[in-house]
């Protein structure tokens, strides 16, 4: 099978490419920038261009059997001024790609989704059962009250795991674009008889993450600080729950999804899967693990916050395990020790 990987020169895309090559798939890459060293594996064709350029996309799609769409502008960003760039790269880019898929009759798509689809995660109130708290308020965050409370009674909540059928609840611009990408892909599948899988990544980390950019994930920001001899700066109180999943496991999930779109996914549909390790940890625990592996300095809990951040988001990956046979292979402690010594990418532009 010949697979086009958009954003293949990026962090996750480069790992997906290597996994595809190792399993003897043909691979073509479309990206706005050339790959950083190490170069692409032998036999991988590279097309340089923007996913928003219809002519370039159609050129890259010639003879392709399936597409693994990783190209996106990632992260929360700096402020709302980033909104046009996010919408243009993520949503317009996806629309252009889907139009080209329809024209060239390519019917199999794996889409890089995100846990931000859900907003705040699943919560339970002792009195009212499952509830969905609203956005956290500035007055509460300024006072150090970081935990969401029951929207009905104000009591504390217990966070839980979010299933794929939870409703979308995007809390920032990036999240809104990731939800829109899934809706566009679902519309394409219905209109063309295509098959799509949306992989809702959790907090992906591992070798080759970009460093020193506001668009990087928190693991990369902590790792970059430690490389400079500075302590990781942990926002809020460090108690934010996340699921840190190694990039090698994410690449394996993409392989499982590519197999599924050719067989297990019904024509005309999109099927979503959460991709997480299944072992939630707090941001503070992750910072501490990285600092210990690097030999310090210890993290500093700042009490600062970003208004678009959610408090807790961990989701169940049982659907991916049961339906596609995927299992994560890299435990948190092992992955963090590796990541503490792994090379990072140099300064990178936001889109990938």
Q: How many CB atoms lie within 10 A of CB 99?
A: 15
Q: Of 145, 148, 146, nearest to 157 (Cα)?
A: 148
Q: What pLDDT, on the 0 to 100 scale, is given for residue 76?
A: 72
Backbone angles phi, psi at 100, to 5 degrees: -65, -40
Report the alpha-carbon distance of residue 347 to residue 333 in Å, rounded.
Answer: 27
| Alpha-carbon distance values, 247 to 11, 233, 244 (Å) | 8, 23, 9
Q: What pLDDT, on the 0 to 100 scale, is given for residue 74?
A: 86
Q: What pLDDT, on the 0 to 100 scale, is given for residue 350?
A: 40
**What are the structure tokens assigned to 139, written together?**
């007055």
Q: What pLDDT, on the 0 to 100 scale, is given for residue 215?
A: 63
Q: What pLDDT, on the 0 to 100 scale, is given for residue 352?
A: 40
CB 130 within 8 A of CB 124: yes
Q: What pLDDT, on the 0 to 100 scale, is given for residue 211?
A: 83
Q: What pLDDT, on the 0 to 100 scale, is given for residue 290?
A: 96
Q: Of 52, 188, 50, 59, nearest to 111 (Cα)?
A: 188
Backbone angles phi, psi at 137, to 5 degrees: -95, 150
Q: What pLDDT, on the 0 to 100 scale, is given for residue 347?
A: 45
Q: What pLDDT, on the 0 to 100 scale, is given for residue 348?
A: 43
CB 4 within 8 A of CB 45: no
What contacts 174, CB < 8 A, 6 or more positions away? 73, 74, 75, 76, 77, 86, 90, 114, 116
Q: Which stretches of the chain score pLDDT less than 50?
A: 347-352
């Amino acid at each position: 099978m010949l697979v086009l990987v958009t954003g293949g020169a990026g962090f996750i895309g480069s790992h997906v490419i290597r996994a595809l090559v190792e399993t003897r798939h043909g691979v073509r890459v479309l990206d706005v920038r050339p790959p950083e060293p190490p170069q692409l594996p032998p036999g991988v064709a590279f097309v340089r261009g923007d996913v928003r350029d219809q002519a370039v996309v159609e050129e890259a799609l010639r003879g392709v059997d399936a597409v693994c769409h990783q190209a996106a502008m990632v992260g929360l960003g700096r402020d709302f001024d980033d909104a046009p760039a996010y919408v243009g790269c993520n949503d317009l880019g996806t629309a252009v790609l889907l139009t080209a898929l329809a024209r060239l009759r390519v019917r199999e798509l794996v889409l890089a989704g995100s846990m931000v689809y859900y907003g705040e995660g699943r919560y339970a109130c002792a009195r009212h059962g499952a509830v969905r708290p609203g956005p956290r308020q500035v007055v509460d965050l300024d006072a150090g009250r970081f935990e969401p409370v029951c929207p009905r009674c104000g009591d504390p909540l217990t966070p839980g795991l979010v299933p794929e059928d939870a409703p979308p609840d995007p809390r920032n611009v990036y999240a809104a674009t990731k939800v829109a990408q899934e809706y566009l892909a679902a519309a394409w599948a219905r209109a063309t008889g295509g098959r799509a899988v949306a992989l809702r990544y959790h907090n992906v980390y591992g070798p080759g993450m970009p460093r020193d950019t506001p668009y990087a994930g928190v693991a990369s920001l902590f790792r970059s600080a430690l490389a400079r001899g500075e302590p990781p700066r942990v926002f809020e109180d460090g108690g934010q729950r996340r699921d840190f999943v190694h990039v090698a496991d994410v690449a394996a999930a993409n392989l499982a999804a590519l197999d599924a779109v050719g067989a297990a996914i019904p024509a005309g549909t999109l099927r979503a899967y959460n991709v997480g390790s299944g072992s939630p940890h707090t941001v503070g625990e992750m910072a501490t693990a990285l600092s210990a592996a690097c030999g310090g300095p210890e993290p500093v809990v700042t009490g600062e916050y970003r208004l678009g951040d959610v408090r807790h988001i961990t989701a169940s990956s049982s659907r991916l395990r049961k339906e596609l046979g995927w299992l994560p292979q890299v435990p948190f402690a092992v992955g963090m020790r590796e990541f503490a010594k792994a090379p990072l990418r140099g300064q990178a532009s936001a889109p990938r």
